[in-house]
Amino acid sequence: MTSQEPASPGQEPATRQVTEGRAWSVPGVGILVLGVGLLLAGIALLVLGIAQGGDAGPTALIVVSILLLIAGELAVQGLTSVIAGEARAVQLFGRYRGTIRAPGLHWVNPFARRRRVSTRIRNHETAVAKVNDADGNPIEIAAVVVWQVQDTARAIYAVDDFTQFVAIQTETAVRHIASSYAYDTRGSGALSLRDNAEEITQRLSAEIADRVRPAGVLIIESRLTRLSYAPEIAQAMLRQQQANAVVGARQRIVSWSSAASKPPSRSSTPARSTSDSGQEGSADGGAR
């Protein structure tokens, strides 16, 4: 639900998003008792008026009973129960009037429409998607996102179906992240999907949050649940990784052997020998 502001000639009309506000309501327990009392009184007066005949007095009783029944019905129709983990968005004559979040029995305008919105924490797991990574290698990737409705007005009026909106935007963000980074950088120092899972998930959460913000949704956490090469290249990439591991191990062995074969430094040996000779000469002179 958006409202358009007048635009100057040559410009597109600007839209103003509706944000959540507090709806007017009163405690409903007292209204419930009053409504039941009015209905019972109206029924009693109606029976009494019909029993007494068609005189002026009974006719007045019938009119009063009808008014009491109408008042009692309006009192009961305005009652709205809200349970924990849910909210009620109040809409009157096509306009958003606020949201009720406090659990309990409330009474609002009986002519208002009250739409239920769940504010519980939800999980959404994407289907396994086949995407080419930054190096062009096909990979399979999936993720799970934990989210919650933060702004009920935007969730209802800004998008058609906020649950489906979150699902589609999450899958889009997962595909974009997967195609932006390589699966394995082979020690080059750049971010990779396999070696930098924490950084990748943080960026994934930030991108999903940015995409679903117009729907009033809060992203709590996101994690990759599947990450692997596609089956058609999995064996080839595994052999390549094994070959790279063997080459790396040989390079480390060669570097260790080169370090072990270097002769020790003798720069300090002559100084110690001269010092020792001087001490021995002093000792011989003293003995003589």
* Integer Cα distance of 190 and 176 in angstroms: 17
Cα gap 239→246, rounded to integer Å: 11
Residues 70 and 50 placed together within one structural domain of the fold: yes
Same domain flag for 102 and 132: no
- Judge if 126 and 108 occupy the same domain: no
Residues 61 and 163 in one domain: no
Query: Is residue 257's pLDDT more than 70?
Result: no
Among residues 141, 123, 122, the alpha carbon closest in space to that of 131 is found at 141
Whole-angstrom distance, CA of residue 138 vs CA of residue 132: 4
Q: Does 197 share its domain with 141?
A: yes
Residue 50 lies in a domain: yes
Residue 76 placed within a domain: yes
Residues 112 and 175 in one domain: no
Say if residue 48's pLDDT is above 70: yes
Determine, yes or no, domain membership for 93.
yes
Q: How far apart are CA 151 and CA 227, in angstroms?
A: 33
Residue 236 pLDDT:
61
The yes-or-no verdict on residue 256 having pLDDT over 60 is yes
Stretch among 101-105, 116-120, 162-166, 233-237 having the lowest mean pLDDT: 233-237
The pTM for the full model equals 0.71
Q: What percent of the chain has pLDDT over 90?
A: 54
For residue 131, how many other CB atoms are within 10 A of its CB?
A: 16
Co-location of 34 and 99 in the same domain: yes
Owning domain of residue 88:
2-6+15-117
Which class for 175: exposed (0-12), middle (13-18), buried (19 or more C-beta within 10 A)? middle
CB-CB contact of 76 with 35 (8 Å)? yes
Question: What confidence tier does 187 reach under pLDDT thresholds 50, 70, 90?
Answer: low
CATH classification of the domain holding 174 = 3.30.479.30
How far apart are alpha carbons 204 and 191 in whole angstroms?
13
Given a cut of 70, is residue 242 above it in pLDDT? Answer: no
Q: What is the pLDDT of residues 78-125, one digit of tens each?
A: 999 999 999 999 999 989 999 999 999 999 999 999 999 999 999 999
Coil, helix or strand at residue 218:
strand
Which of these, 245, 140, 270, lies nearest to 194 by C-alpha position? 140
Residue 262 has phi, psi (to 5 degrees) of: -70, 135
Contacts of 89 (CB under 8 A, 6+ apart): 23, 96, 98, 99, 114, 115, 117, 152, 153, 156
